[in-house]
Structure 1
Amino acid sequence: MKKLYQSKLLLVLLAAFMLLVTACNNEEGSTAEKEGKKDDLLSIDDFASAKKADGEIIDGGTLTYGLVSDTPFEGTLNFNFYQGTYDDEVISWFDESILDADENYMYTQDGAATFEVSEDKKTFTFTIRDNVNWHDGKPVTAEDWAFAFEVLGDPDYPGTRFAEASNVQGFEDYRSGKADSISGLKIIDDKTLQITFVEANPSLLASGIWTHPLPKHIFGDMKVADMESSPEIREHPIGFGPFKVDSIVPGESVVYKKNEDYWRGEPKLDEVILKVVNPSVVTKSLQDGDVDIAVYPTDQYKDNVKALSNVDFLGKIDLAYTYIGFKLGKWQDNKNVMDPNMKMSDVNLRKAMAHAVNNQDVGEQFYDGLRWAGTTVIPPSHPAFHDDSNPGLEYDPEQSKKILDENGYKDTNGDGLREDKNGNELVINFASMSGGDIAEPLANYYIQKWKEVGLNVKLVDGRLLEFNSFYDRLEADDKAIDIFQGAWGVGSDVDPTGLWGSAAAFNYTRWTNEESDQLLAEGISEKAFDEQYRSEVYEKWQKLMTEEIPAFPTLYRSELTAVNKRVANWDVKPGTKLFNDRSQLGVTAEKPEVAGQ
């Protein structure tokens, strides 16, 4: 699982920025409410997912990838340690999962390792291909893979990925110090690793296995506490992917050279340059050919598509959603602990805040239909499990006011703002990230909508928070934060435990619920290999989340990628052959096409 974050940036075009400012300052309602829906909304179905060659692919060449962000990448460049989505993008050019997945997110036999599954579905035997080598020429071994689990389970491990290994037999005993080894790991030979799990569950076949070896010949003598900050991760990381890291400007750019020894075959490109591109200049960077590929802000698309005559746009439904979360406790002793004295502990206050905002309006007016109102916290990217019969907490300001009135939140001094149940001033502190033109007006939109029902909501510190600071403060359970606007990448496996489980570090609300934990456990039980049963379990869970509302989804989202016309063999759809194999990526000309030429 990944932070997003979002996390994949809240961005918008200037016209929408001005529109939203107008809407936010309008006490009588938003533009969408007054004028009705747009009649020219876009759909993700309008876009292809792959860019094939428009001509003959040349030998070699350099391609530039734009990492669209208003903040530097953190630089923790190893799958076992990274936290943010930007580092993930950097890592994905030089390292990869040892297992491939198909378009349905199920593991296949096409990756760097193949596997067999026991009859009881608890024991997997993996065989790493003989030609899979680290960038320094050393073979990727079963011992490397087992070593990664040992690092995740070490008491000094500073990250959160241990949760994704907790189902391995003996892992929890090893992590707690009760055992000297992980009993569920058995090295058969240099290239064969057998992993036995505590429980058989359907998630094991869909990204439920930790698939990122760690080179023991590099890290084996290093203290786990020192690994994350080591030069071997920060300055010259290695993997076994199609490109090698050649040089790094911390937080700004990376130069990769092709890995001639790549196990799938020598890459077509000689070099890839990744550089951070601010969302405010991404359009110009694409027009001028400064970058060949960039995830493009959906909210800038309509105004700029004609000016970007030198690129093609690809699209997919994003495996992510944005949400408003309520702080309900703290992280203590590796678990979430609720505090009944927290300001947002009243479920009725949380429901009233959800009913007060019009997310469909936001999606239509500021994303032209490429984002749309969320209903449940299992998004439609997983249609077998998303409950489309659950309307969520729909926009209904009158219902919001009624809930507040009935539960003692009343304006007792006539200033238009409600006090708490005891008649004391009620100020709700809202944390939201910076990230392009839309970030501030979008936060103000929500603040204004809450004000319209009488709630006094203010930005934490009176400003938007930079990406890294935002997540640092959420993780630390900063008492200055009452509610926050976050985002979550659901990953290929639908299992929501990584965000909403009682022991999930990414559960920044710190909400815990016994019924929720039971349903989440049933959703990954052996019985859940039956898809219908699993769907019914998650339907109950989504209903519970709507009732308890530790958070509510704001927008489901599409993702657009701008690709220069010279680029060949780039596919944004997960699970496809080109998505899994970047060695096929190439260009049809030495230089990028430039708009207007």
Structure 2
Amino acid sequence: MKQTYVNHKKELKGGTLKIGYPSNNNFKGIFIQELGTDSETDSLAELGQPGLFRKDKNGKYVKGGLADVSFDRGSKTALITIGPKTRWSDGEPVTARDVAFVYEIIANKDSTSEYYSENLETIMGMKEYHEGKTDQIAGLQIKDSKHLLIHYTKMAPAMEYVDSGYLYNDAQPYHYLKDVPMAEMAQSDKVRKHPLFFGPYTIKKVVQGEAIEWVPNKYYGGRKPKLDKVVEEVVPVAQVAEAMRSHKYDIILHESRATYAKTSKVDQYVTLGTMAYGLQYMGFRVGDKNPNGKSVLDKELVTNNRALRLALAYAMNTQQIVEEYGAGLQKWANSMVSPAYGAYHDSKTEPYYQNLKKAEHLLDQAGFKRGKDGYRTRPDGKKLTLHLLDQASGRGNDEIRANYMQLWKKIGVKVELVNDRPLEFNTYEDLLHSNSHKFDFWFGTWSLVQEPSSAATAAYSPSSSFNYGHFVTKENTKLLESLNSVKAFDAKYRIKQMHKWQEYMRKEAYVVPLSYSYDLTAVGKNVKGMTVDNSTQLTVWDNVCLTK
């Protein structure tokens, strides 16, 4: 699939670019990515916050960004150098203090950020700051206004990649936000209505959850923006196809498979796409979060029975579903690592081929006995009802879910939806992020970065706030630690350990991979300079313009 649209028409000076974002939910509109949790806001905000650093096609650092970074494995440091032209949209220069502020926002004990992780704890003094024992992070050394030296306790191979979680690709305006309490920052008007940006565009107006109007950031340190205005709107998924037929929008971000199936022959658009690094999955809640914020297994939960998890996986006709509903844009997932990661994806890991007899046998052997009503009881004889958490996302998704629930009924497992219905996105997200016992398992989607080990470490480490199922085992933690050990600087060893992790996850079925997808962008033929290849420039919006 093409990643760049080449348009030979003459460009129009200025003009208004209209972008549609297909979603049945409002975006949350927290314009500090370290405090946000929804991918909608992150995608819509890329016009203003593209990231400080440039990367190559593999996601590794290269020179030429709004800031550059250099690593020294001997001294265990990273030196960030901010470009002299890098400025906020109020004209103030981006400083080393602004970069350090990002780490304070994530790690402050009063912060609402969910991005604190073991990776960040490799920065000297980070853990002490996070626990409130100090008011500064010892490992962040501001050399001068344009240089920040970060001291680590150890170096890791993941550090070679932008967005690894060891070093953040961002800055936040300390001069503008320093007086806003950490606990209140996510809801502040300075963040939600009048944020500052260092990217090519800045916000003129926000209709909360629905639309954003952008104008050029006249202080942008990169190429001068070519458009007078950009208007982004959230569009209900069911209305996108008709909007495209009438050419209401110049670009459709993250076009759905259902829309593509209806509009692939609409002549006004060209579709660009890349295989996504994330995946669609089914996860099980097998534990809880302790008072220190770490995940711990709860062996009393019925979902901690591996036979039950495997039985649900083997009952599913996922291969058939992908073929029928994927519009040729999905691939049946065999492991927890997308093929987009190249050699790190283990193509030899077997998917869960549908096998109802095997599912029945697993449950029989584990003591889940059928009752007169056809449903099974727990091994202790108590009633078994599993509660499934899912979000409302269209008729196709409703049909797929109903299909799976019918198959689980066939093997005698009673499954009910939380609140008896699929939930609106923000309600679903809030429940998923909570420590709730309302759900036993859920359907979800991971959006991941290009750093390969993030497929494992981002959500399945004990301290990760994205470990929604609170899955923790000694073997898993040992495998995760090996991915960024000193030995893992040897790529062959790292790939081998990634393959071991994928096989371990398949054996245990704490998380069941369902499908990989292409991420699609529909581009109007009146648009020039659009690409989804981030390696060609600092941001995909640097060269976008309209044509005559």
**1:465 CA displacement:** 0.8
Q: Residue 112 of structure 2 aligns with which residue? A: 158
Q: Residue 486 of structure 2 aligns with which residue? A: 526
Aligned residues: percent identity?
Answer: 29
TM-score normalized with structure 1 length: 0.88
**1:56 CA displacement:** 0.9
Select the residue among 242, 261, 269 that pairs with 2:227: 269
Partners of 2:6 and 2:92 lie apart in 1 by: 34
Select the residue among 235, 247, 257 that pairs with 2:193: 235
1:129–1:581 Cα change, 3 Å? farther
1:116–1:559 Cα change, 3 Å? closer
Helix, strand or coil at the partner of 1:429: strand
Checking the alignment, whether the CA contact within 8 Å between 1:336 and 1:510 is kept in structure 2 is yes
Checking the alignment, whether the CA contact within 8 Å between 1:373 and 1:554 is kept in structure 2 is yes
Match status 1:506 vs 2:463: no
Select the residue among 459, 468, 472 that pairs with 2:426: 468
Select the residue among 483, 497, 505 that pairs with 1:537: 497
Amino acid at match of 2:31: L
Partners of 1:576 and 1:531 lie apart in 2 by: 25
Q: Which whole-Å deviations, capped at 9, do the CAs of 1:191-216 have from their partners, x for residues lacking one?
A: 11111222111111112211211111
Q: Residue 199 of structure 1 aligns with which residue? A: 154
Amino acid at match of 2:489: F
Q: How does 1:84-99 map to 2 (within 5 A)?
A: 84-99=38-53
Amino acid at match of 2:418: V
Helix, strand or coil at the partner of 1:542: helix
1:437–1:516 Cα change, 3 Å? same
**1:581 CA displacement:** 4.2
Q: Which whole-Å deviations, capped at 9, do the CAs of 1:330-349 have from their partners, x for residues lacking one?
A: 12221112211112110110
Q: Residue 129 of structure 2 aligns with which residue? A: 174
Checking the alignment, whether the CA contact within 8 Å between 2:276 and 2:338 is kept in structure 1 is no
Q: Residue 384 of structure 2 aligns with which residue? A: 426
Select the residue among 344, 350, 355 that pairs with 2:303: 344
Q: Residue 352 of structure 2 aligns with which residue? A: 393
Partners of 1:302 and 1:154 lie apart in 2 by: 46
Match status 1:101 vs 2:55: yes
1:443–1:344 Cα change, 3 Å? same
Partners of 1:258 and 1:460 lie apart in 2 by: 44
Amino acid at match of 1:198: T
Amino acid at match of 2:337: I
Partners of 1:406 and 1:149 lie apart in 2 by: 50
Match status 1:438 vs 2:396: yes
Helix, strand or coil at the partner of 2:278: strand
Partners of 2:380 and 2:135 lie apart in 1 by: 54
Q: Residue 122 of structure 1 aligns with which residue? A: 76
Deviates more, 1:426-435 or 1:136-145: 426-435
Helix, strand or coil at the partner of 2:513: strand
Select the residue among 101, 112, 118 that pairs with 1:147: 101
Q: Residue 31 of structure 1 aligns with which residue? A: none
State the Cα RMSD in Å.
1.5
Helix, strand or coil at the partner of 1:82: coil
Amino acid at match of 1:338: L
Q: How does 1:570-581 map to 2 (within 5 A)?
A: 570-577=530-537, 580-581=539-540
Partners of 1:568 and 1:166 lie apart in 2 by: 43
Helix, strand or coil at the partner of 1:266: coil
Checking the alignment, whether the CA contact within 8 Å between 1:408 and 1:420 is kept in structure 2 is yes
**1:90 CA displacement:** 2.3
Checking the alignment, whether the CA contact within 8 Å between 2:194 and 2:203 is kept in structure 1 is yes
Amino acid at match of 2:429: Y
Checking the alignment, whether the CA contact within 8 Å between 2:73 and 2:155 is kept in structure 1 is no
Q: How does 1:357-368 map to 2 (within 5 A)?
A: 357-368=316-327
**1:113 CA displacement:** 0.9
Q: Which whole-Å deviations, capped at 9, do the CAs of 1:150-174 have from their partners, x for residues lacking one?
A: 2222110111122253321211111
**1:477 CA displacement:** 2.8
Partners of 2:34 and 2:273 lie apart in 1 by: 29
Q: Which whole-Å deviations, capped at 9, do the CAs of 1:110-152 have from their partners, x for residues lacking one?
A: 2111222214272111111100000000000011111221222
Helix, strand or coil at the partner of 1:392: coil
**1:311 CA displacement:** 0.8
Match status 1:49 vs 2:3: yes
**1:353 CA displacement:** 0.6
Structure 1: give runs of 5+ residues left out of the alignment: 1-46, 590-597
Helix, strand or coil at the partner of 2:202: strand
Partners of 1:267 and 1:121 lie apart in 2 by: 40
TM-score normalized with structure 2 length: 0.96
**1:245 CA displacement:** 0.3
Partners of 1:80 and 1:486 lie apart in 2 by: 21
Helix, strand or coil at the partner of 1:322: strand
Match status 1:383 vs 2:342: yes
Partners of 1:177 and 1:461 lie apart in 2 by: 38
Amino acid at match of 2:179: D
Checking the alignment, whether the CA contact within 8 Å between 1:51 and 1:570 is kept in structure 2 is yes
Q: How does 1:398-409 map to 2 (within 5 A)?
A: 398-409=357-368
Match status 1:69 vs 2:28: no
Count residues with an aligned counterpart: 540
Partners of 1:197 and 1:394 lie apart in 2 by: 44
Q: Which whole-Å deviations, capped at 9, do the CAs of 1:477-532 have from their partners, x for residues lacking one?
A: 32221110011112111222111111111111111111111111110112211110
Q: Residue 259 of structure 2 aligns with which residue? A: 300
Match status 1:417 vs 2:417: no
**1:418 CA displacement:** 2.0
Partners of 1:63 and 1:304 lie apart in 2 by: 20
